[in-house]
Amino acid sequence: MRNWIECSGAARSVFILGLFLFLCTPWIGGAVAQSASSWQVGTPIATYWAGPAITDAVARQMVEGGFNLVWCGSEAELDVVHHHGLRGQLTSGLFTPASLDDPDRRQQLDALIARVSKHPALYSYHLIDEPSAAQFPALGKLVAYLRQRDPLHLAYINLFPTYANNQQLGTKGDTVTAYAEHLRLYVEQVKPSLISYDHYQFRLNGDSDQYFLNLAMIRRTAQEAGVPFLNIVQACTWAPDAMRIPNADELRYLVYTTAAYGAQGISYYVYAHPNHHGSLVGLDGTPGPLYYAVKSYNREFVAIAKELQPLRSIGAYHTLMRERGCEPLPSDAVFRIDSASSPVSPRGFLLGFFGAGQRPTH
């Protein structure tokens, strides 16, 4: 199957070519995930960051929008999402390293895990957003503690993007050096079952040129760790004087480039949240233009990522783009683009190569 799209803004005239094998088997993780956790991705993740409390009406809207993982702030909300066939990511003030150092809080944490670990809707525990490397040792202990008591569910942590500064990352050096060390320490000390990160590049005064750099570094780290990864992409503005709202084509560009790099999860910032504009849904629950766009994008992403689960992401190659992180198509590639019969594209194609072994078959 061949798909190509032409996008506007930062994504203008970018085409993505994907060939996918129609098979369905679970994600095959590597040594880190297999030795520490029994959790599996299952159905590839379509989720969001920051949304409303879960009610029947909200759950129905999320199902219609193609989402399959939603945020739950209580056990009662897990019951609601189960009724609608959704998976839940549970939040709690107990999911912090401090709970392990306080006997009363640890007892409460143990009781919570004992209650929810067998809930049919539970998928993951949310621990923290964008931790510094200084927090990794304590988070590693918490992740290990949760796995010991509930190895079937994900301990979810989201990481900083490449443009975070050294103080935020807790590492030194230039952009690539500091971020690579941040990722190395994270894998070594936390031993995640999934790597999640966010990257928001759509700006009023020129879009960031680090999107593919970040995507490439996360992909490489996830492959080396033997775990899947998830990309949180920009779907609003929270600073109208600096950040712009992406359009539907640009959002599709983010979804399909994420798939071409081999991700098993896509997430959008934000679903609906105060002081955020142009988001998927308004604070009154009214869907916006991007909600209607992701209704199809989510289903397309999940279908593609599911078929790619038994395969390995061998490479993601750009025929013309030379931004940081963009790897050119190898001279010995198994096939090449015939520019004479392809649509005109000043930024070229992105090719995702996949296969069961070292040689691409798809």
Residue 265 pLDDT > 50: yes
DSSP labels, 107-174 = HHHHHHHHHHTT-TTEEEEEEEES--GGGHHHHHHHHHHHHHH-TTSEEEEEE--TTS-HHHHT--SS
Mean pLDDT calculated for residue range 254-278: 98
Residue 181 pLDDT > 70: yes
Could you give the CA distance from residue 9 to residue 178 in angstroms, rounded to a whole number? Answer: 29
DSSP labels, 5-55 = --B-GGGBT-EEEE------------HHHHHH------SPEEEEES-PPP-
> For a pLDDT cut of 90, what percent of the chain falls above it?
81
Q: Which residues contact 40 (CB under 8 A, 6 or more apart)?
A: 26, 27, 29
Query: 272-282 burial by CB neighbour count: b if 16+ within 10 A, else e?
Result: bbeebebbbbe
pLDDT digit string (tens) for 57-112?
Answer: 999 999 999 999 999 999 999 999 999 999 999 999 999 999 999 999 999 999 99
Residue reference for tokens 């798939």: 259
Residue 37: the pLDDT is 79
pLDDT digit string (tens) for 116-164?
Answer: 999 999 999 999 999 999 999 999 999 999 999 999 999 999 999 999 9
Residue 310: the pLDDT is 94
State which CATH number among 3.40.920.10, 3.20.20.80, 1.10.15.40, 2.60.40.3950 fits the domain covering 27-316.
3.20.20.80
Query: 220-243 burial by CB neighbour count: b if 16+ within 10 A, else e?
Result: ebbbebbbbbbbbbbbbbbeeeeb
Q: Are strands 87-90 and 122-129 parallel, antiparallel or unpaired?
A: parallel
Q: Are strands 312-318 and 349-355 parallel, antiparallel or unpaired?
A: antiparallel
Tokens representing 65? Answer: 């929008």
Could you give the CA distance from residue 275 to residue 200 in angstroms, rounded to a whole number? Answer: 17
State the chain's mean pLDDT as an integer. Answer: 90
Mean pLDDT calculated for residue range 21-50: 63
pTM given for the model: 0.90
Residue reference for tokens 């088997």: 25
Contact assessment for residue 5 and residue 249, using Cβ atoms and an 8 Å cutoff: yes
One-letter identity of residue 210: Q
Residue 48: the pLDDT is 99
Residue 78: the pLDDT is 99
First to last CA, the chain: 10
